[in-house]
Structure formats: C-alpha cells, structure tokens
Amino acid sequence: MGMMVRAGFVRIFIGIESPNVDSLDECNKVQNKDRDLVAAVKKIQNQGLEVMGGFIVGFDNDSPSIFKAQIDFVQKSGIVTAMVGLLNAPRGTRLYQRLKDENRLLDTFSGDNTDLSLNFILRMDKDALMKGYIEVLNSIYSPRQYYDRVKLFLKEYRPPKRKLVSNLKFYQVFGGINILLTMGFKEKGRWQYWRFLFTTLFKDPHSMPLSIELAVYGHHFRKVTQEYQRKYLQTSIQ
C-alpha cells in the first residue's frame, strides 16, 4: 500500500459485497471472512488511500435485515463512494450455472446491476428487495449521512503531502462558483453542505479541496438515486 501511495495512487476499489457471512460464503468471497472488515477499511485509509466499496444485495442468504446491515457498515467504515448493486448472474459464471440447474434463470443479464433488472428468480420477495435497495441508496446518500461519512473518512485518511497547484484556471474558478450556487443555494441539503464546509474549514482546512470534491460526488450520487427511485416507482405503477 505504501508503494502504491508513493506511485501516485489515491483510490482503490474493493469488492466487499456484504457484511453477511453466509452471503460471503455463497459468493465464495472467503477472503472477506473471519476479519474485522471495518478495521481493515480504516487501515487502508490510514495508509493514504480512499476505499471505494462494492456491495451487493439479493443473495439467497440475504434476509430483510441485510439493508440496515449494509447501511450501518457503510456508515461505520467511512466508505464515501459505496457502489451498491443488485445481484445478477452473468453468463459463464458459477452462479449462472447453479441458477440454471435450479431452473431459476430469467432474462439475459443487462450488464448493469443498478438498472433494477434481475435475471433470476429470487429467494427474497422481489418487491421487498427493490424497496430495500432504494432505501439503502436513499439513506447512505442523504446529505446528513453522506457528510457524516466524509468527515469520518477524513478523520482516518493520512495522505502524503503533495505540492499544491497555485495557478488557478478560469474553468476551475467557474466550476467552483457553479458548485457553490448549486449545492449551497439550490439543493435541499444546502444547510448540511454549509455546515460541512465550515466544520472542515475550522478543523482541517488542508482537506478543503478534497472535501469539496467529495461533496460534489455526493450531489451526483443523490441525482442518480433520485433517477433510480423514479424508475422504481414507474415500474411499480405498471
């Protein structure tokens, strides 16, 4: 990890998948078992790397409690970019073959595990899975929860000192003003945004550029979540 940081890496993607041990067994993610995953994430953050986490819901061993468990894990770990998707079975995988043998396969996998499509018959009620999935996204990317998670991440993050670029470009200034107007005045979570910025300014001003960058990520993820929710509601009405 130290060599990666010295080489210029700043982020890594890790497939954590699930805090449910039985689900980890199901997908053969044995390397994630028998360890404190939250502590492992924090150790990586301490080395100066931001962890982007991949999570899946919809395993056969998932019960309705999995949604709260996923939310709690994401919050406690300080994983800012938590990519949560629905389980699907791509052709050629062991999961695909198992579901085929069990006569549970449906349509071909679209290739996007966030488009609310499923290509197999679930053990869990499908409506419960979809509702729970949207609940997870709404929760972890709500302004309050998201900014709390960014603050937790920044508390653990130990990046190397890098040379700051002093000459700002016009597009950077324009982009900064646009961010301020959009997130500081137009977005519903604007009060949490201002509170987050002032907290960062007074407690850790050196992390302000990264804080603004991560705040923009949060705005993007909220827009994406709103689109998923609209699609879910349209599907439910049909």
Encode pLDDT of 168-212 as tens digits. 576 767 788 888 888 888 888 899 999 999 999 998 888 988 999
pLDDT higher than threshold 60 for residue 119? yes
Phi, psi dihedral angles at 11 (to 5 degrees): -140, 150
DSSP structure class, residue 108:
P
Encode pLDDT of 6-36 as tens digits. 999 999 999 999 999 999 999 999 999 999 9
For residue 85, give the H/E element and its range.
strand 82-86
Selecting from 3.20.20.140, 3.40.50.300, 3.10.20.30, 3.30.750.200, what CATH number does the domain 2-145 have? 3.30.750.200
DSSP structure class, residue 186:
I
- Three-state SS letters, 194-217: HHHHHHHHHHCHHHHHHHHHHHHH
Is 79 strand, coil or helix?
coil
Nearest Cα to Cα of residue 120 among 139, 97, 137: 97
**Domain boundaries defined on the chain:** 2-145, 166-237
Name the percent of the chain lying above pLDDT 70.
94
pTM over 0.75: yes
